[in-house]
Amino acid sequence: MRVGFIGLGSQGGPMARRIAEGGFETTLWARRPASLEPYAHTPAKTAATPAELAAASDLVCLCVVGDDDVREVLNGDNGVLAGLAEGGIVAIHSTVHPDTCRDIAEMAGAQGVSVIDAPVSGGGPAVEEGTLLVMVGGDEEVVERCRPVFATYADPIVHLGPLGAGQSTKILNNLLFSANLGSAVSTLELGESLSIARDKLVEVLNRGSATSKAVGSISMFGGTLEGLAPIAGALLQKDVRHAASLASAASAPEGAVFTAADAALAAMEYGR
């Protein structure tokens, strides 16, 4: 399978490298030429446009930031769908609303192109270790065709159901992560009110039964969200908004998890 990859950031870049070094014919595209420089000594080729990349690919993987970015690289005269042949596949690794994936699938299906959603969790270090988590939604046969490519950087690869199921699951994952951040910050603030030093309390929380990835992240930044906010604030804001949209569509109450998540967003000055 020939693979095209768009989105060479801190998450996507290592994924693309693992695919290329895993023996798959790989083509890369980026808006900025400088983003392609780190791959000059890999087996990967480069393309001048997303359409040119797609014409050289059977599977196009997208790991751009959000919904609008996905639409932008897919559409238009130079977009992926302008170059991808019938029978091609688009895998959306970006975390976007499930409805975005369904809209894209309807448009792509008109030209015989399949779409799966495959958001990821774990970060660059997990990619390097081959242990990235991939949450997949879409037709089972299409998912299985893509599995060997994903396996170059991921374990486990979990097929969750029809198109959109992967995104819904990733959004819930990020909602709970945000809630954990909010609960952790609230606990640290309460500790200070009880004259427990923040740095000592965060050390205990990080080593005790109350630990979580959120506590670990706060610990890395000195017990506050100030350092995390520029990195994750806008992304978590987007995902909590998507989660609220899903809850509303399902007529489900938001509940305590949203209260805690909103506390984290407010602490990072990215209120919903």
Q: What are the residue numbers of the active site?
A: 170
Q: Nearest Cα to 31, choosing from 6, 57, 10?
A: 6
Report the alpha-carbon distance of residue 74 to residue 51 in Å, rounded.
Answer: 8
In sequence order, what are the residues at sequence separation of 6 or more whose Cβ sits closer than 8 angstroms to the Cβ of residue 76?
Answer: 82
In sequence order, what are the residues at sequence separation of 6 or more whose Cβ sits closer than 8 angstroms to the Cβ of residue 254?
Answer: 244, 247
Answer yes or no: are the C-beta atoms of 117 and 137 closer than 8 Å: yes
Residue 3 identity: V
Per-state percent for the chain, helix, strand, coil, to nearest 5: 55, 15, 30
Beta bridge partners of 26: 3
Report residue 136 as tokens: 């997949």
Distances (CA, A) of 250 to 11, 99, 104, 245: 31, 13, 22, 9
Distances (CA, A) of 28 to 25, 56, 63, 242: 10, 10, 12, 29
Report residue 247 as tokens: 């809850």
Distances (CA, A) of 83 to 19, 110, 166: 21, 14, 26
